[in-house]
Structure 1
Amino acid sequence: MVSHFISAEPASATLEHIKSSGTLNMGYRQLAPFSFQGEDGKVSGYTITLCNMVADELRHMLSLKNLSIHYIPTIFTERVASLNSGKIDLDCSVNTDAPERKGSVSFSKDYFTANMRIISLRNNNIKTLEDLRGRTVSIPRGSKDLLEFNRVNREKHLSISIVTSDTVEDAFNMMAQRRTAAFIIDDILAYPYINQSEHPEDFTVSKDVVGEKMKYAIMMRKQDPVFVAFVNKTLTRIFESPLNDQLSNKWLTQKVVAKNTHKN
């Protein structure tokens, strides 16, 4: 990608750290098609690609030809602490741009919108939230899905019990092993786990959408507006170019979502 930034001295704590260390630390999770480590050990995905393009711009702007990229596994509940401690500079996995989080972190402009749905075993015949009344569901802890489902559950007086997990995969397995009646997650994140299972036909994704839409963004440290602006300028150029359609076709189609999934 051709850079539009000119070389300049860093004007933010994050840029200072990247320039002095010669490294860019990216947090990620096993969440195909946005971020995942494949069987070959390579970390890739749609959001990882966006962050790699940010890294290309940083190499040019900071005159760091040998900028190293470190991909650091980071679970949902560790994201904010990892950013604020300097362990990671960007969280390049799935992060929902939520108002309640903006007091502790910053977000880039949104790059994808997902819908939260009910994932269940087909023979449980669960199609709506009402079908889950008084039952138990699994949701990853630290996720926006958990916050949003708690709100819906409370407002609709559904009395649904929630079991939380560290990862999306663990929450899916709870449902698949019948430890919970359903798994609540954004639809695009559910399809890879369904498609990689031994019997994909055993699972169903609800037509009903649960709660508000989930808008994904790159997560960054709070109080570093210069770095946030740098990331957003890079994303804006990508989104306004033909490259955006190429990336979407490569990573975000149903066929690719099924293919680009590595089972831990």
Structure 2
Amino acid sequence: MRTWAIACCLVGLPLTLAAQTEATLDKVKRNGSISVAYRESSIPFSYLGGDAKPTGFGWEICSKIVDRVRASTGRDLKVVTQAVTSQNRIPLLQNGTIDIECGSTTNNSDRARQVAFAVNYFYTGTRLLVKAASPVKSITDLKGKTVVSTVGTTNFQVLRKVNAERNIGFELLGAKDHAESALMVQQGRAEAFGMDDILLYGLRASSQNPAELAVVGDALQVEPYAIMIRKDDPAFKKLVDDTLAALMQSGEFEALYKKWFQSPIPPKGINLNAPMSQELRDNLKALSDKPAT
């Protein structure tokens, strides 16, 4: 009876514990599949294209990581795609629902206590999306106005902190995703949307009338983006880091950057015209996974 009880309890172990005790490469080899997470509106990192399938800069890099996982495990793995949001991406990674997240997640010290990050592959800063005719040109112009940001992002926290420290006096609202945040500005329900500038450029470019929107203000802070994986899994982190290092050292990473940031991209063929930052150029050599403070 006692043996049966122990077996029963093991079967009933929460998925979180299972994810913590089994290495990712062992898990995907056993299952014959890998679960890859994407964002629905994080242009151009990962988003839904015209065919309603994930696409983007981060998504394409993750596809190359999956190819290396296939070679490592010796299995023709099935790729299971999973949409995630700013709020659920970390819990879904921790509990084993997803194995890797390919989006626009900031690598910071707080998150590094919960998950692991690969080599940083982008650097960005919080700026504002407003209507082109808006008088708002900087964060200080927001006194008495309504600002929106996406719940679960570092940007929401930065805006709340800056509002308090500088005593600006704007009302900060939360939206479930970037698309909803942008829509609130377009519909006049918020004066500005505070988010990573590259995502704002992407949302502006994909809107029905890009000329009606503008990205304004100085960056409130500069932070790195990185692909997110489970914590305490050195073999999988090495595989992901090695894949990124090979792309960066061969020049293929720069080619992908030009494809997604300096060329027409789907679904509307608009060019973001975003040059590579000096921070990112430096990291093509440094290969650092250092988090933002």
TM-score by length of 2: 0.80
Q: CA deviation at 1:228?
A: 1.2
How far apart, CA to CA, are the structure 1 residues paired with 2:266 and 2:225? Answer: 17
Paired residue secondary structure (1:127)? coil
Paired residue secondary structure (1:75)? coil
Paired residue secondary structure (2:265)? helix
Q: CA deviation at 1:207?
A: 4.2
How far apart, CA to CA, are the structure 1 residues paired with 2:39 and 2:32? Answer: 23
List per-residue Cα deviations over 1:75-126 (Å, max 9, x = no partner). Answer: 1100111011110000111100011111111111100111221111122210
How far apart, CA to CA, are the structure 2 residues paired with 1:216 and 1:252? Answer: 15
Q: CA deviation at 1:50?
A: 1.0
Corresponding position of 2:221: 212
Corresponding position of 1:227: 236
Superposed, 1:133-212 pairs within 5 Å as: 133-209=143-219, 211-212=220-221
How far apart, CA to CA, are the structure 2 residues paired with 1:93 and 1:167? Answer: 13
Corresponding position of 2:288: none
CA RMSD of aligned residues (A): 1.8
Paired residue secondary structure (2:123)? strand
Corresponding position of 1:94: 104
Q: Which runs of 4+ in 1 moved over 6 A?
A: none
Corresponding position of 2:260: 251
TM-score by length of 1: 0.89
Q: CA deviation at 1:249?
A: 1.2
How far apart, CA to CA, are the structure 2 residues paired with 1:175 and 1:14? Answer: 41
Q: What code does the residue aligned with 2:214 have?
A: T
How far apart, CA to CA, are the structure 2 residues paired with 1:223 and 1:102? Answer: 11
- Sort the Cα spacing of 1:199 and 1:39 in 2 relative to 1 into closer, same or farther, 3 A: closer
Aligned partner (choices 52, 55, 73) of residue 63 of structure 2: 52
Corresponding position of 1:106: 116
Moved more, 88-97 or 117-126: 117-126
Q: Does 1:236 align with 2:245?
A: yes
Q: CA deviation at 1:196?
A: 2.9
Paired residue secondary structure (1:190)? helix
Count of aligned pairs: 249
How far apart, CA to CA, are the structure 2 residues paired with 1:69 and 1:260? Answer: 27
- Structure 2: which 5+ residue stretches go unaligned? 1-20, 271-293
Corresponding position of 1:6: none
User: Which gives a bigger RCO, structure 1 or 2 (Cα 8 Å, sep 6+)?
Assistant: 1
Contact kept in structure 2, 1:95 and 1:218, CA below 8 Å: yes
How far apart, CA to CA, are the structure 1 residues paired with 2:250 and 2:161? Answer: 38
List per-residue Cα deviations over 1:208-252 (Å, max 9, x = no partner). Answer: 22x211211001112212211221111111111121121111112
